[in-house]
Amino acid sequence: MAASKMDPLLEIKSLKTHFFTHEGTVQAVNGVSLTVGRGRITGVVGESGCGKSVMGRSILNIIESNGKIVEGSILYYSEPGRPPVDLAKLHPRGREIRRIRGREISMIFQEPMTSFSPVHTVGNQIVEVIRLHEKISVEEARKLAVEMLGKVGIHQPAERIDEYPHQLSGGMRQRAMIAMALVCRPKLLIADEPTTALDVTIQAQILELIKSLQREFAMSVIIITHDLGVIAETADDIVVMYLGQVMESGSVTDIFYDPKHPYTRALLESIPRIEADRGQKLTTIEGAVPDAHHVPPGCPFYERCAHAMPGICSARRPDPMEVSPGHEVACFLYTGGEPNE
Protein backbone atom coordinates (compact mmCIF):
# COMPACT_ATOMS: atom_id res chain seq x y z
CA MET A 1 0.00 0.00 0.00
CA ALA A 2 0.93 3.62 -0.30
CA ALA A 3 2.03 3.97 3.27
CA SER A 4 4.52 1.15 3.14
CA LYS A 5 6.59 3.07 0.64
CA MET A 6 6.91 5.82 3.19
CA ASP A 7 8.03 5.85 6.75
CA PRO A 8 6.16 3.14 8.67
CA LEU A 9 5.11 3.59 12.29
CA LEU A 10 3.60 0.17 12.71
CA GLU A 11 4.07 -2.96 10.67
CA ILE A 12 1.85 -5.92 11.37
CA LYS A 13 3.09 -9.11 9.78
CA SER A 14 0.92 -12.23 9.42
CA LEU A 15 -0.63 -11.69 12.83
CA LYS A 16 -2.74 -14.49 14.25
CA THR A 17 -4.80 -13.96 17.38
CA HIS A 18 -6.84 -16.93 18.51
CA PHE A 19 -9.33 -17.44 21.29
CA PHE A 20 -9.51 -20.74 23.10
CA THR A 21 -13.08 -21.46 24.16
CA HIS A 22 -15.03 -24.52 25.23
CA GLU A 23 -16.46 -24.77 21.72
CA GLY A 24 -13.01 -24.80 20.16
CA THR A 25 -10.50 -22.34 18.82
CA VAL A 26 -11.78 -19.09 17.35
CA GLN A 27 -9.38 -17.76 14.73
CA ALA A 28 -10.39 -14.13 15.22
CA VAL A 29 -7.34 -12.69 13.49
CA ASN A 30 -5.94 -15.13 10.99
CA GLY A 31 -2.85 -13.86 9.30
CA VAL A 32 -3.25 -10.11 8.99
CA SER A 33 -0.50 -7.95 7.53
CA LEU A 34 -0.79 -4.20 7.32
CA THR A 35 1.29 -1.08 7.62
CA VAL A 36 0.42 2.17 9.30
CA GLY A 37 2.36 5.11 7.94
CA ARG A 38 3.74 7.78 10.23
CA GLY A 39 1.25 10.65 10.40
CA ARG A 40 -1.40 8.87 8.36
CA ILE A 41 -4.94 7.74 9.09
CA THR A 42 -5.54 4.08 8.31
CA GLY A 43 -9.10 2.86 8.19
CA VAL A 44 -9.83 -0.78 8.95
CA VAL A 45 -13.23 -1.78 7.67
CA GLY A 46 -15.23 -4.99 7.77
CA GLU A 47 -18.47 -6.54 8.91
CA SER A 48 -19.19 -7.39 12.53
CA GLY A 49 -17.11 -10.32 13.68
CA CYS A 50 -14.40 -9.95 11.04
CA GLY A 51 -11.75 -9.59 13.71
CA LYS A 52 -11.01 -5.91 13.26
CA SER A 53 -11.51 -5.04 16.92
CA VAL A 54 -9.40 -7.97 18.09
CA MET A 55 -6.72 -6.86 15.64
CA GLY A 56 -6.80 -3.39 17.24
CA ARG A 57 -6.59 -4.80 20.72
CA SER A 58 -3.78 -7.15 19.71
CA ILE A 59 -1.60 -4.13 18.99
CA LEU A 60 -1.75 -3.13 22.66
CA ASN A 61 -1.98 -6.77 23.73
CA ILE A 62 -5.14 -6.14 25.73
CA ILE A 63 -7.16 -9.08 24.43
CA GLU A 64 -9.30 -11.08 26.85
CA SER A 65 -7.53 -13.66 28.96
CA ASN A 66 -8.73 -16.61 26.84
CA GLY A 67 -7.18 -15.05 23.74
CA LYS A 68 -3.57 -15.08 22.64
CA ILE A 69 -1.36 -13.82 19.85
CA VAL A 70 -0.18 -17.13 18.45
CA GLU A 71 1.84 -16.00 15.47
CA GLY A 72 3.21 -13.01 13.66
CA SER A 73 4.77 -9.77 14.71
CA ILE A 74 3.72 -6.20 15.40
CA LEU A 75 6.71 -3.98 14.72
CA TYR A 76 6.49 -0.55 16.30
CA TYR A 77 8.98 2.06 15.06
CA SER A 78 8.86 4.68 17.78
CA GLU A 79 11.47 6.88 16.03
CA PRO A 80 12.42 6.77 12.35
CA GLY A 81 15.64 4.88 11.86
CA ARG A 82 15.59 3.27 15.30
CA PRO A 83 15.15 -0.50 15.50
CA PRO A 84 11.51 -1.46 16.05
CA VAL A 85 9.96 -3.12 19.10
CA ASP A 86 7.93 -6.25 18.44
CA LEU A 87 4.81 -5.64 20.55
CA ALA A 88 3.59 -9.18 19.97
CA LYS A 89 6.60 -10.54 21.80
CA LEU A 90 6.17 -8.42 24.93
CA HIS A 91 4.54 -9.94 27.99
CA PRO A 92 0.94 -8.68 28.07
CA ARG A 93 1.26 -7.71 31.74
CA GLY A 94 4.88 -6.64 31.60
CA ARG A 95 6.38 -3.25 32.26
CA GLU A 96 7.55 -2.63 28.68
CA ILE A 97 4.15 -2.92 27.05
CA ARG A 98 2.57 -0.92 29.86
CA ARG A 99 4.99 1.94 29.22
CA ILE A 100 3.83 2.02 25.61
CA ARG A 101 0.11 1.78 26.38
CA GLY A 102 -1.47 5.16 26.97
CA ARG A 103 1.75 7.01 26.27
CA GLU A 104 2.95 5.94 22.82
CA ILE A 105 -0.13 4.11 21.62
CA SER A 106 -3.58 4.99 22.94
CA MET A 107 -6.97 3.58 22.28
CA ILE A 108 -10.54 4.85 22.36
CA PHE A 109 -13.57 2.61 22.32
CA GLN A 110 -17.06 2.26 20.99
CA GLU A 111 -18.97 2.78 24.21
CA PRO A 112 -18.23 6.18 25.69
CA MET A 113 -21.00 5.28 28.13
CA THR A 114 -19.19 2.39 29.76
CA SER A 115 -15.59 3.06 28.84
CA PHE A 116 -15.21 5.41 31.78
CA SER A 117 -15.53 4.11 35.28
CA PRO A 118 -18.90 5.42 36.52
CA VAL A 119 -17.65 6.01 40.05
CA HIS A 120 -14.59 8.16 39.38
CA THR A 121 -14.55 11.70 38.04
CA VAL A 122 -13.40 12.27 34.48
CA GLY A 123 -10.52 14.31 35.87
CA ASN A 124 -9.42 11.55 38.20
CA GLN A 125 -9.21 9.13 35.27
CA ILE A 126 -7.32 11.56 33.03
CA VAL A 127 -4.89 12.67 35.74
CA GLU A 128 -4.23 9.00 36.44
CA VAL A 129 -2.90 8.31 32.95
CA ILE A 130 -0.71 11.45 32.98
CA ARG A 131 0.83 10.64 36.35
CA LEU A 132 1.33 7.04 35.30
CA HIS A 133 3.63 8.03 32.47
CA GLU A 134 5.08 11.34 33.56
CA LYS A 135 6.64 12.29 36.84
CA ILE A 136 4.69 15.44 37.57
CA SER A 137 2.58 16.68 40.46
CA VAL A 138 -1.18 16.25 40.67
CA GLU A 139 -1.68 20.01 40.17
CA GLU A 140 0.39 20.05 36.99
CA ALA A 141 -1.31 16.93 35.69
CA ARG A 142 -4.67 18.53 36.41
CA LYS A 143 -3.67 21.62 34.49
CA LEU A 144 -2.69 19.46 31.52
CA ALA A 145 -5.99 17.59 31.76
CA VAL A 146 -8.04 20.81 31.79
CA GLU A 147 -6.08 22.09 28.82
CA MET A 148 -6.67 18.88 26.91
CA LEU A 149 -10.39 18.85 27.75
CA GLY A 150 -10.59 22.37 26.34
CA LYS A 151 -8.78 21.26 23.22
CA VAL A 152 -11.30 18.51 22.49
CA GLY A 153 -14.10 21.07 22.65
CA ILE A 154 -15.48 20.70 26.17
CA HIS A 155 -16.74 24.05 27.44
CA GLN A 156 -15.71 25.21 30.89
CA PRO A 157 -13.19 22.38 31.20
CA ALA A 158 -12.05 23.56 34.62
CA GLU A 159 -15.52 22.79 35.99
CA ARG A 160 -16.37 19.75 33.88
CA ILE A 161 -13.18 17.99 34.96
CA ASP A 162 -14.72 17.26 38.37
CA GLU A 163 -17.87 15.78 36.94
CA TYR A 164 -18.72 12.12 36.76
CA PRO A 165 -19.19 10.42 33.39
CA HIS A 166 -22.95 10.13 33.87
CA GLN A 167 -23.17 13.92 34.06
CA LEU A 168 -21.81 14.27 30.52
CA SER A 169 -23.70 13.61 27.29
CA GLY A 170 -22.60 10.79 24.99
CA GLY A 171 -20.76 13.12 22.65
CA MET A 172 -19.04 14.91 25.53
CA ARG A 173 -18.01 11.59 26.98
CA GLN A 174 -16.39 10.54 23.73
CA ARG A 175 -14.60 13.90 23.64
CA ALA A 176 -13.38 13.32 27.18
CA MET A 177 -12.28 9.85 26.12
CA ILE A 178 -10.27 11.35 23.26
CA ALA A 179 -8.76 13.85 25.69
CA MET A 180 -7.72 11.00 27.98
CA ALA A 181 -6.22 9.05 25.08
CA LEU A 182 -4.28 11.99 23.69
CA VAL A 183 -3.17 13.74 26.85
CA CYS A 184 0.21 12.00 26.78
CA ARG A 185 0.64 12.88 23.09
CA PRO A 186 0.80 9.33 21.72
CA LYS A 187 2.27 8.56 18.33
CA LEU A 188 -0.61 6.27 17.43
CA LEU A 189 -4.29 6.45 18.29
CA ILE A 190 -6.40 3.34 17.77
CA ALA A 191 -10.04 4.35 17.51
CA ASP A 192 -12.27 1.29 17.76
CA GLU A 193 -15.69 2.23 16.35
CA PRO A 194 -15.38 5.68 17.92
CA THR A 195 -18.67 7.00 16.56
CA THR A 196 -20.89 3.92 16.36
CA ALA A 197 -22.81 4.71 19.55
CA LEU A 198 -23.34 8.38 18.70
CA ASP A 199 -25.91 10.42 16.76
CA VAL A 200 -25.04 11.20 13.15
CA THR A 201 -24.47 14.90 13.84
CA ILE A 202 -22.23 14.18 16.81
CA GLN A 203 -20.50 11.50 14.74
CA ALA A 204 -19.38 14.07 12.18
CA GLN A 205 -18.10 16.39 14.92
CA ILE A 206 -16.09 13.63 16.58
CA LEU A 207 -14.54 12.53 13.27
CA GLU A 208 -13.65 16.15 12.50
CA LEU A 209 -12.09 16.44 15.93
CA ILE A 210 -10.01 13.28 15.47
CA LYS A 211 -8.81 14.55 12.08
CA SER A 212 -7.84 17.98 13.34
CA LEU A 213 -6.04 16.59 16.39
CA GLN A 214 -4.26 14.10 14.15
CA ARG A 215 -2.92 16.98 12.08
CA GLU A 216 -2.05 19.07 15.13
CA PHE A 217 -0.19 16.31 16.95
CA ALA A 218 1.17 14.77 13.75
CA MET A 219 0.19 11.34 14.97
CA SER A 220 -1.00 8.24 13.19
CA VAL A 221 -4.53 6.96 13.61
CA ILE A 222 -6.12 3.58 13.03
CA ILE A 223 -9.87 3.91 12.69
CA ILE A 224 -11.68 0.63 13.06
CA THR A 225 -15.24 0.72 11.78
CA HIS A 226 -17.94 -1.13 9.88
CA ASP A 227 -19.06 2.17 8.38
CA LEU A 228 -17.59 2.97 4.98
CA GLY A 229 -18.89 6.53 5.35
CA VAL A 230 -16.65 7.07 8.38
CA ILE A 231 -13.70 5.66 6.45
CA ALA A 232 -14.39 7.88 3.42
CA GLU A 233 -14.47 10.96 5.60
CA THR A 234 -11.29 10.32 7.51
CA ALA A 235 -8.87 7.74 6.19
CA ASP A 236 -5.83 8.10 3.94
CA ASP A 237 -5.33 4.34 3.60
CA ILE A 238 -7.87 1.57 3.85
CA VAL A 239 -7.65 -2.07 4.90
CA VAL A 240 -10.66 -4.25 4.14
CA MET A 241 -10.95 -7.23 6.48
CA TYR A 242 -13.07 -10.33 6.25
CA LEU A 243 -13.08 -13.24 8.69
CA GLY A 244 -9.78 -12.33 10.27
CA GLN A 245 -7.98 -11.76 6.99
CA VAL A 246 -7.11 -8.79 4.83
CA MET A 247 -8.99 -8.88 1.52
CA GLU A 248 -7.75 -5.68 0.02
CA SER A 249 -5.72 -2.67 1.02
CA GLY A 250 -4.80 0.58 -0.61
CA SER A 251 -5.32 4.31 -0.61
CA VAL A 252 -8.80 5.83 -0.31
CA THR A 253 -8.83 6.47 -4.06
CA ASP A 254 -7.80 2.88 -4.80
CA ILE A 255 -10.53 1.39 -2.66
CA PHE A 256 -13.40 3.74 -3.46
CA TYR A 257 -12.76 4.32 -7.16
CA ASP A 258 -10.99 1.17 -8.22
CA PRO A 259 -12.07 -1.62 -5.90
CA LYS A 260 -10.68 -4.96 -7.02
CA HIS A 261 -11.84 -7.60 -4.55
CA PRO A 262 -15.39 -8.91 -5.04
CA TYR A 263 -15.96 -8.40 -1.31
CA THR A 264 -14.91 -4.75 -1.42
CA ARG A 265 -17.15 -4.20 -4.42
CA ALA A 266 -20.06 -5.87 -2.70
CA LEU A 267 -19.50 -3.70 0.39
CA LEU A 268 -19.49 -0.53 -1.70
CA GLU A 269 -22.61 -1.58 -3.58
CA SER A 270 -24.48 -2.14 -0.34
CA ILE A 271 -24.21 1.55 0.63
CA PRO A 272 -27.55 3.31 0.09
CA ARG A 273 -27.23 6.14 -2.44
CA ILE A 274 -29.29 9.31 -2.53
CA GLU A 275 -29.14 9.51 -6.32
CA ALA A 276 -30.48 5.96 -6.71
CA ASP A 277 -33.81 5.58 -8.51
CA ARG A 278 -36.92 5.24 -6.42
CA GLY A 279 -37.93 1.67 -5.86
CA GLN A 280 -34.48 0.39 -6.71
CA LYS A 281 -33.58 -2.33 -4.29
CA LEU A 282 -30.50 -1.97 -2.15
CA THR A 283 -27.90 -4.58 -3.00
CA THR A 284 -26.96 -6.80 -0.11
CA ILE A 285 -24.30 -9.44 0.29
CA GLU A 286 -25.93 -12.86 0.32
CA GLY A 287 -25.43 -15.04 3.36
CA ALA A 288 -23.61 -14.25 6.58
CA VAL A 289 -20.03 -14.21 7.78
CA PRO A 290 -19.09 -17.87 8.38
CA ASP A 291 -18.56 -19.09 11.91
CA ALA A 292 -15.04 -18.25 13.03
CA HIS A 293 -14.82 -21.71 14.65
CA HIS A 294 -14.84 -23.33 11.23
CA VAL A 295 -12.87 -21.19 8.85
CA PRO A 296 -13.16 -22.64 5.32
CA PRO A 297 -9.83 -23.80 3.89
CA GLY A 298 -9.86 -21.61 0.79
CA CYS A 299 -10.73 -17.98 0.33
CA PRO A 300 -12.90 -16.99 3.33
CA PHE A 301 -15.33 -15.14 1.05
CA TYR A 302 -15.72 -18.11 -1.32
CA GLU A 303 -19.21 -19.13 -0.21
CA ARG A 304 -20.68 -15.65 -0.70
CA CYS A 305 -18.67 -14.59 -3.71
CA ALA A 306 -20.43 -13.99 -7.05
CA HIS A 307 -17.20 -14.67 -8.96
CA ALA A 308 -16.08 -17.72 -7.04
CA MET A 309 -14.14 -20.24 -9.11
CA PRO A 310 -14.91 -23.73 -7.81
CA GLY A 311 -11.87 -25.87 -7.26
CA ILE A 312 -9.57 -22.87 -7.08
CA CYS A 313 -11.04 -20.45 -4.56
CA SER A 314 -12.31 -23.24 -2.30
CA ALA A 315 -9.01 -25.09 -2.28
CA ARG A 316 -6.46 -22.60 -1.00
CA ARG A 317 -6.08 -19.16 0.38
CA PRO A 318 -5.09 -16.44 -2.07
CA ASP A 319 -2.07 -14.42 -1.01
CA PRO A 320 -2.16 -10.65 -1.32
CA MET A 321 -0.63 -9.35 -4.53
CA GLU A 322 0.08 -5.83 -5.64
CA VAL A 323 -2.16 -4.75 -8.54
CA SER A 324 -0.83 -1.21 -8.64
CA PRO A 325 1.68 0.58 -6.38
CA GLY A 326 0.41 0.41 -2.84
CA HIS A 327 -2.80 -1.38 -3.82
CA GLU A 328 -2.91 -5.03 -2.78
CA VAL A 329 -5.66 -7.56 -3.22
CA ALA A 330 -5.96 -11.16 -2.09
CA CYS A 331 -8.03 -12.76 -4.85
CA PHE A 332 -7.37 -15.40 -7.52
CA LEU A 333 -9.25 -13.31 -10.11
CA TYR A 334 -6.09 -11.22 -10.43
CA THR A 335 -3.65 -14.10 -10.62
CA GLY A 336 -5.53 -16.02 -13.27
CA GLY A 337 -6.23 -18.65 -10.67
CA GLU A 338 -2.57 -19.35 -10.21
CA PRO A 339 -0.96 -19.39 -6.79
CA ASN A 340 1.04 -16.20 -6.74
CA GLU A 341 4.08 -17.00 -4.72
The residues of the shown chain that bind other proteins, judged by CB under 8 A, are: 57, 60, 62, 93, 98-103, 106-107, 109-111, 114-121, 128-129, 132-133, 164, 166-167, 177, 180
CB atoms within 10 A of CB 91: 10
Which one, 124 or 340, has the nearer CB to other proteins? 124
Neighbour-count burial of 314, counting CB atoms closer than 10 A to its CB (0-12 exposed, 13-18 middle, 19+ buried): middle
Q: Which of 52, 176, 197 is nearest to 110 (CA)?
A: 197
What minimum distance in Å lies between the beta carbon of 57 and other proteins? Answer: 8
What minimum distance in Å lies between the beta carbon of 117 and other proteins? Answer: 5
CB atoms within 10 A of CB 241: 25
What minimum distance in Å lies between the beta carbon of 60 and other proteins? Answer: 6
Q: Where are any strands of DSSP class E within 62-148?
A: 67-76, 85-86, 105-108
What minimum distance in Å lies between the beta carbon of 56 and other proteins? Answer: 10
Give how far Cα 276 sits from Cα of 38, 257, 282, Å: 38, 18, 9
Q: Which of 292, 293, 283, 238 is nearest to 260 (CA)?
A: 238
Q: Which of 101, 61, 41, 19 is nearest to 238 (CA)?
A: 41
> Which run of H or E residues covers position 42?
strand 41-45
For 195-222, the DSSP string reads: TTTS-HHHHHHHHHHHHHHHHHHT-EEE
What minimum distance in Å lies between the beta carbon of 55 and other proteins? Answer: 15
Q: Which of 16, 33, 15, 34 is nearest to 25 (CA)?
A: 16
What minimum distance in Å lies between the beta carbon of 220 and other proteins? Answer: 16
Which one, 36 or 60, has the nearer CB to other proteins? 60
| C-alpha–C-alpha distance, residues 340 and 249, integer Å | 17
* β 237-242/245-251 pair status: antiparallel
Which one, 52 or 133, has the nearer CB to other proteins? 133
Which one, 40 or 57, has the nearer CB to other proteins? 57
What minimum distance in Å lies between the beta carbon of 113 and other proteins? Answer: 8
Residue 181 per-residue DSSP state = H
What minimum distance in Å lies between the beta carbon of 226 and other proteins? Answer: 18
